[in-house]
Chain A
């Protein structure tokens, strides 16, 4: 398939989606931002058109069989018809479709080129641990969002720390499961910048519905700059009260803030949480208020999540911690 037909299909899709509403969201398959995802949308619309044509054809036959003129009924009412329309027609049609499917499968397995970037994404109940592997082999850990450079061959290594999860950002690619004891791979080459959303697609118990993920496709230069910042330790925050409360309340037992005495690895790394899109793996839009809400009400906002309740914090302490975290850009 050529780029041209993809662009055409994208235009077609845009107009169809305008009719349907709801499917232009940040988590929709209908707003593809990678070649792979565009091919799938095109495939879908071709199949949809074919399916509609076949459906109409079957019901025209049925109408003719019941209400048509005698001649048509005579021709329809024979075993030859069953043979031709019920057996030969599907065989020919499905064979063509299948060959196209094989070709797409071949394309999806990638060019085999050395990836320009490797990122490890690990599913955990109920959030995502994201680790960037830099060219020098050093690792940069983040959580619940994935930033990638466009026009770069990216290899995602997908694993799980506990049960089955499935990595799915519809605008970028189809989903790939995360399975204990295995490392699944997903190759991506993004074509357009922008922020999109994804969600765990394999039921993983409890808060499965609240295991969201943000994705941002960036210009390669912007990405490099961002990753360099992300690799650094936490900034020296001016929120001294919040920092003290954070460290004193034991947050660091589970959350790591690089450069501070907060070495925990069980929960998401918070070194640069202030610059993230969301709190609680997509539950709230990030901000001081959201962070405070999360600390105060996370068992309600995201039932069953593994963070213990912090009921003993005073309002002032909570507020201070929230301000401190928001400052960690």
Chain B
């Protein structure tokens, strides 16, 4: 059947030039203002790769120290800093950012979107990550690096046992990755669900998009647990709020629960996107669609769910009851099943496709990944067996296992990705010869380093020891491991040489060099694809060979820039029906400054220079406000014709708008954080019921607080109601906004004062600290609502707020509703629960 093209007529000649001008990447000293996803994505990947190399160098120093028994190449304290910084950097500054970077880089191309929906948000996340990450890493050079191990167990990391600023630098480093991970997750969820090309239903999405959707969803649920943990630890370090001190009703295991509730899903957060990439490369190698696509999607989602039921398997030796051990042992084994599905899907796809001749470099990395990851998975099943784990836990067996899983599950797919997708952004392919050298050096080095460690660990060598005596007999195995680590380093060095020689950023490389079937291989330029294609299958480039030419000729959707600025198409979340056109911001300094000042603020706080830190905080907030001022553009430039008979608005509020989606996801993040607080409150009660008080503040203050909080909601509703028609103002609007914010803040102040007057003191015991912690969480949100309220009032006076152009107010309202609801729930628990006892 002949298919109707959305824009069958020939396009005007100057149209492409206009697109090029609008999407041009700033050059020279303005380059940091760039927001295009390919530029930002490349910067992101480059930074992640730099941290990988740096953390790898630390590993080499450690391996050199351990090569021989009784060696004293490095001191005890420096070694402790080395492994802490190595682990922290690899997990937080390399693995998660690298995956987010690939999302930023590849997703818009795979979805043929012009950019991600919030370009400046990704740019902000990248700059905050680069500045914060660099400062964190540099602490290793002046003896300020943390030395508590990458999971920073208290009480070791409390001020009593770690008095210096070192541990605070860890908390700082994590603070940044928390910010940029969550910004990235919001970006990715909205991007995947709302900026797909018309016709790309959920069932036609590339597997990588599914993987990134699950990845981002897991970040939304998992990261808040570690955010809360780091907040609690910093509060205990700085102000003696005793969350982890057993003497005052805290518990060291609370940290482990929160950390591993994040930490275990973290492994899958890293692995799933990589598995998604393999699921993209394998069909190209086999020249046939992926066998078992629906099963793989189910496997990805199932892994996401299961991974939250496993965290206790990091705590099998803490003496928890046998019943919990059995449950978590079962869950830990169950999570192997989705991985089995993926491995056999890849095998089935290779069997169903054309016979492959010589393996390309990406193919080599995929096969290498299979070998390493399957081995890591099998040792994973072993340590899920509780009695065996009692021996293996915290020994070199675990070091071996985790490196097999992470290097096999993430590093090898990543290098395969570099070789496979480089031609998308580079004028030249990377060298196949150097690629093969890189692969074999890394593959042999990997096994030589980590295979012996299984034995070293069971022969009694614990992790995190800087030296061992000759009598242990561990010497020869360690020497072998050290030799292997140098081979890995050589492999990475070959890759870097290849990058230097062959990677040239820019367009004009070979088009679709691997003969792949997905949209990222369409001809593209700074504006992404010339027009946004109409899709009717999972591998459109295989099923419609003429698609590339049609897209290039502008015959598909949105071949131009009807509003005269940057824009992309928003489609419905399930069926991808065109809904509206987003007007997107271009390059700017404000988000860069916001990132720099946020970083500066955290840094100065870490070294306890309070006043300049506050100045930076104010500057950061101002930068954010400047950045967002021009975002809420209003409907004036629309509606526009995008082709295919669609005449679409260029502005939308309410549940169809992309801003509404982002705010709802942010509320989910805040909700996860609050649930982690509820868990912590109840958990500490089970551990130390004796510090839960008999007497509480009177009901009356809590009731007054609740009344104020609850009434902020109708006030905010009335603010929305009071909005004047298009392009006019109602003098009452700012009053309603101010009232709603005042009621919200007032409610929290009343509760705080009530607790204080009653004599609650956060340093007295774990209960009181938890009570004030609820206020900290509510207060942060209320602070944000207050700033947003002032901002909306300013927009009112600037004539940028009315009944239609009200996205700013809508987002403020949503956050206010959420904050009021969370605060009320907190009141109910804090005042109600102890009365039930």
Task: Please pick, from B336, B343, B351, B387, the residue contacting A64 in the complex, using a CB distance under 8 A.
Answer: B351
Would you list the 5 A-B pairs with minimal beta carbon distance, nearest first? A174-B390, A181-B246, A77-B352, A27-B460, A209-B465
Known: A79-B295, A206-B80. A86 touches B344 (CB 8 A): yes
Q: Are B319 and A182 in contact (CB under 8 A)?
A: yes
Give chain B nearest CB distance to A70 CB in angstroms. Answer: 9
Q: Which residue on chain B has the smallest CB distance to residue A16?
A: B455
In chain A between 26 and 46, which residues have their CB closer than 8 angstroms to a CB of chain B?
26-30, 36-37, 39-40, 43-44
Q: Are A168 and B341 in contact (CB under 8 A)?
A: no
Residues on B with C-beta less than 8 A from A163 are 153, 155-156, 161
Give chain A nearest CB distance to B87 CB in angstroms. Answer: 11
Known contacts A21-B476, A25-B472; 20 additional CB pairs below 8 A are A22-B459, A22-B476, A27-B460, A28-B460, A30-B458, A61-B347, A62-B347, A65-B347, A66-B356, A79-B348, A81-B344, A98-B330, A162-B161, A170-B460, A179-B252, A184-B318, A200-B462, A201-B317, A204-B156, A208-B80
Give chain A nearest CB distance to B758 CB in angstroms. Answer: 27
Residues on A with C-beta less than 8 A from B345 are 82, 86
Chain B CB within 8 A of A313 CB:
no
Residues on A with C-beta less than 8 A from B80 are 205-206, 208
Give chain B nearest CB distance to A241 CB in angstroms. Answer: 32
Chain B CB within 8 A of A312 CB:
no
Provide the A148-167 mask, 1 if CB < 8 A to any CB of B, else 0.
00000000001000111010
Q: Are A201 and B395 in contact (CB under 8 A)?
A: yes
Residues on A with C-beta less than 8 A from B456 are 22
Q: How far is the CA of A102 from the CA of B322 in the complex (A)?
A: 9
- Between A and B, 9 residue pairs with Cβ closer than 8 Å are A22-B455, A36-B387, A40-B387, A40-B390, A47-B385, A73-B351, A94-B336, A163-B161, A182-B319
Known: A176-B319, A209-B76, A209-B467. A23 touches B458 (CB 8 A): yes
Residues on B with C-beta less than 8 A from A18 are none
Q: Are B388 and A40 in contact (CB under 8 A)?
A: yes
Q: Are B341 and A87 in contact (CB under 8 A)?
A: yes
Give chain B nearest CB distance to A153 CB in angstroms. Answer: 18
Task: Please pick, from B330, B342, B387, B393, the residue contacting A39 in the complex, using a CB distance under 8 A.
Answer: B387
Residues on B with C-beta less than 8 A from A43 are 385, 387-388
Q: Are B385 and A82 in contact (CB under 8 A)?
A: no
Known: A62-B347, A94-B334, A201-B393. A208 touches B464 (CB 8 A): yes
Size of interface on A: residues with Cβ below 8 Å to B: 94
Most chain A Cβ neighbours within 10 Å, of B348, B367, B472: B348
Residues on B with C-beta less than 8 A from A81 are 344, 347-348, 351
Task: Please pick, from A82, A170, A199, A200, the residue contacting B295 in the complex, using a CB distance under 8 A.
Answer: A82
Q: How far is the CA of A64 from the CA of B352 in the complex (A)?
A: 11
Give chain A nearest CB distance to B412 CB in angstroms. Answer: 15
Q: Which residue on chain B has the smallest CB distance to residue A95?
A: B333
Known: A76-B351, A87-B341. A102 touches B295 (CB 8 A): no
Give chain B nearest CB distance to A278 CB in angstroms. Answer: 11
Q: Which residue on chain A has the smallest CB distance to residue B294?
A: A79
Q: Are A66 and B350 in contact (CB under 8 A)?
A: yes
Chain A residues at the B interface, C-beta cutoff of 8 Å: 20-30, 36-37, 39-40, 43-44, 47-48, 51, 54-55, 58-59, 61-62, 64-68, 72-79, 81-83, 85-87, 89-91, 94, 97-98, 100-102, 104-106, 108-109, 125, 158, 162-164, 166, 168, 170, 173-177, 179-182, 184-185, 197-210, 303-304
Q: Are A79 and B291 in contact (CB under 8 A)?
A: yes
Most chain A Cβ neighbours within 10 Å, of B147, B155, B463: B155
Q: How far is the CA of A157 from the CA of B608 in the complex (A)?
A: 42
Provide the B731-765 mask, 1 if CB < 8 A to any CB of A, else 0.
00000000000000000000000000000000000
Most chain A Cβ neighbours within 10 Å, of B351, B467, B473: B351
Q: Which residue on chain B has the smallest CB distance to residue A67?
A: B355
Q: Are A54 and B378 in contact (CB under 8 A)?
A: yes
Known: A86-B341, A97-B385, A209-B465. A25 touches B471 (CB 8 A): yes
In chain B between 384 and 402, which residues have their CB closer than 8 angstroms to a CB of chain A?
384-391, 393-395
Residues on A with C-beta less than 8 A from B340 are 85-87, 89-90
Residues on A with C-beta less than 8 A from B466 are 209
Residues on A with C-beta less than 8 A from B350 are 62, 65-66, 77
Q: Are B391 and A170 in contact (CB under 8 A)?
A: yes
Q: How far is the CA of A181 from the CA of B464 in the complex (A)?
A: 24
Chain A CB within 8 A of B139 CB:
no
Known: A54-B378, A101-B386. A65 touches B76 (CB 8 A): no
Residues on A with C-beta less than 8 A from B353 are 77
